[in-house]
């Protein structure tokens, strides 16, 4: 983050906390409950939103060195992530070009070659077909032009981003590479997120629509109530200045003691000491940047009312010596507290999902001070509308 931006944001948060009132520069918005229950809409979200967008697939540390690879399912698509010999992150459909078998079955590792377990067709880390057993049996095969089907992939902000659909790569890359998005990723990179490593993670299915889970991260109106026994005492009430960078959002969560903190000389101000920064990575992930570490939260829809949530704690790399016992205990406690806080949100999300299925409400209300929430929904709606044309 640029130093001038850091000082301006900190000063703005101080004034907002002094005023002790939520930002109210938006209109109240009604959102149809059908957005969380309609099967056709969910299908279009899978196809026209998540399927046509570069989404966070991995943290950079998971492909730390040339030859590192990672396999995963991304929107029901088998994906093989690699870092080639030049250090470039790449993504492929994990599907052999011979007879469609899964090429790499291991979850992760380091290799120079991927050998299909069906007929041993072999590919390198660039996806190029290196060998085909008994190649004389395939007289029409052009090995030089036969490779694993490559997916749109970029490494920005400390993360590996992949578009799950190969046929939408060009449009997805165009949207991803906007000037506004570039500023967003540059800011994230300046915070050192890419230099961190994964300390611990939780992967758990919650019985709620993925957008209900996203909604909870785009407002702090619920903090004083839902998080009264965890994080509420540490933050100002419903004061969350935000800014959109294209489709992505930066939200600042001022700590309750920020006014006293600001009595220090401005030269000593550090925004990470007096706020938490929440970066919403459109459409289905966020990064919570704290003083000494960060947390990646990613929502992967499995069904209209089931979502796989990843909570991943990212910390400074300990180097070759590894984590000391003191450091391990410290980061373990942080990871446990993050999970406890987020579980409070996700348990309520499951309650909301049960509630929307009853028909008790036809609409949800987003307040004037929940502008990030209403604007995010407008972006999603616009992209779904564009996908219909």
What residues contact 312, with CB distance under 8 A and at least 6 apart?
A: 59, 198, 200, 201, 295, 296, 297, 298
What residues contact 273, with CB distance under 8 A and at least 6 apart?
A: 261, 291
Tokens at 347, concatenated: 């348990």
CA separation for the pair 237, 215 (Å, rounded): 17
For residue 126, count other CB atoms closer than 10 A to its CB: 16
Q: In what order do the strands lie in the sheet with 122-124?
A: 113-115, 122-124, 129-131
The owner of tokens 């959102």 is: 31
Residue 168: what pLDDT? 87
What residues contact 129, with CB distance under 8 A and at least 6 apart?
A: 97, 121, 122, 123, 143, 146, 147, 148
Residue 23: what pLDDT? 80
Q: Which residues does the chain have with pLDDT short of 50?
A: none
Residue 389: what pLDDT? 54
3-class state of residue 56 by DSSP: strand
Residue 138: what pLDDT? 95
- DSSP-derived letter for residue 291 is S
Is the peptide bond prior to 283 cis by the omega test (within 30 degrees of 0)? Answer: yes
Q: Which residues pair with 363 in a beta bridge?
A: 32
163-186 as b/e: b if 16+ CB within 10 A: bbbeebbeebeebbeeeebebbbe
Are the C-beta atoms of residues 192 and 323 closer than 8 Å to each other?
A: no
Residue 17: what pLDDT? 95
Residue 388: what pLDDT? 64
CA separation for the pair 202, 359 (Å, rounded): 33
314-343 as b/e: b if 16+ CB within 10 A: bbeeeeeeebeeeeeebbeebbeebbebbb
Residue 175: what pLDDT? 87
Nearest to 25 by CA among 342, 368, 373: 368
């Amino acid at each position: 983050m640029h130093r001038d931006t850091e000082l301006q944001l900190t000063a703005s948060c101080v004034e907002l906390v002094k005023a002790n009132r939520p930002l109210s520069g938006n209109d109240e918005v009604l959102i149809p409950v059908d957005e969380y229950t309609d099967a056709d809409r969910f299908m279009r979200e899978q196809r026209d939103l998540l399927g046509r967008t570069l989404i966070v697939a991995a943290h950079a540390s998971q492909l730390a060195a040339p030859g590192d690879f990672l396999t995963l399912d991304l929107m029901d698509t088998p994906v093989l992530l690699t870092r080639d010999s030049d250090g470039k992150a790449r993504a492929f459909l994990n599907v052999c070009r011979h007879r469609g078998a899964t090429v790499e079955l291991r979850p992760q590792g380091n290799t120079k070659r991927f050998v299909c377990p069906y007929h041993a067709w072999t590919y390198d880390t660039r996806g190029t077909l290196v060998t085909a057993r008994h190649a004389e049996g395939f007289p029409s095969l052009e090995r030089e032009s036969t490779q694993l089907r490559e997916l749109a992939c970029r490494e920005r902000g400390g993360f590996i981003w992949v578009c799950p659909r190969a046929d939408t790569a060009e449009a997805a890359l165009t949207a991803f590479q906007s000037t506004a998005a570039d500023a967003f990723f540059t800011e994230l990179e300046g915070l050192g997120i890419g230099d961190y490593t994964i300390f611990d993670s939780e992967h758990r299915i919650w019985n709620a629509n993925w957008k209900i889970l996203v909604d909870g991260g785009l407002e702090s109106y619920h903090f004083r109530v839902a998080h009264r026994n965890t994080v509420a005492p540490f933050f100002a009430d419903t004061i969350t200045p935000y800014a959109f960078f294209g489709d992505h959002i930066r939200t600042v969560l001022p700590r309750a003691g920020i006014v006293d903190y600001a009595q220090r000389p401005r030269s000593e101000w550090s925004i990470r000491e007096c706020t938490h920064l929440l970066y919403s990575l459109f459409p289905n992930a966020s990064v919570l940047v704290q003083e000494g570490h960060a947390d990646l939260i990613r929502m992967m829809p499995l069904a209209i009312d089931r979502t796989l949530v990843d909570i991943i704690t990212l910390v400074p790399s300990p180097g070759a010596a590894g984590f000391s016992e003191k450091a391990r205990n410290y980061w373990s406690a942080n990871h446990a507290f993050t999970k406890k806080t987020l579980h409070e949100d996700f348990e309520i999300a499951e309650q909301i999902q049960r509630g929307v299925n009853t028909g008790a409400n036809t609409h949800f209300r987003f307040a004037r001070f929940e502008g990030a929430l209403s604007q995010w929904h407008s972006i999603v709606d616009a992209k779904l509308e564009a996908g219909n044309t």
